[in-house]
Amino acid sequence: MPDNTRDKLLDAAQDLVQRVGANAMSYQHLAEAVGIRKASIHYHFPTKTDLLGTLIERYHKAFMERVSAVRSGGGDGGVRLRAYLDLFSATLRDSDGDKLCACGMLGAEVATLGADAAAALHRFYAANHRVLETLLREGVADGSLAVPGDVAATARVVLAALEGGMLVARTGDQPAERFAQVAQQLLLLVTPRG
């Protein structure tokens, strides 16, 4: 039977990062969550930086698989944009408001994560910016969306509002509902008037 300790460590790390952030997570927390000795973690991830770099890459890959499903799911650009926004909403909704996007949490701590983790975060956000820009352009082309001004800049605004909206929504009661209002307003900003 294969040893899946590495995957269990990554699962536990992602859970902790999404709830409390990387700086509040320790190898002791991971050891307790997985049921191994703290020293055993170093076999799989010699440093916390190694762990976080691997975690970001894994999260990025899984997230982009979900994005790919959104892109191929059919419907006009507006429908696909709503489905993309729902990926963020689902994180809060499915965790009773207890989890945020792992890369959003790590982005807040980027100055303390090391160059490799910072580069991995940059790749995550660059990929998501490209997806949003494409969704907006497709929506404009099919008439389901209207973007006032520069599409690339609007994509940056939408991504920033999603990540920031999650952080702010989590500070109050009913974070999933509060974030749903942010997502709805984002859609209204790019809905054609008429």
> What tens digit of pLDDT does each residue of 78-135 get?
999 999 999 999 999 999 889 999 999 999 999 999 899 999 999 999 999 999 999 9
Could you tell me the residue ranges of all domains in the chain?
48-189
For 183, counting Cβ atoms within 10 Å of its Cβ (0-12 exposed, 13-18 middle, 19+ buried), the class is buried
d(C-alpha 103, C-alpha 62), whole Å: 12
pTM value > 0.85: yes
Give the whole-number percent of the chain exceeding pLDDT 70.
Answer: 98
Class of domain 48-189: mainly alpha
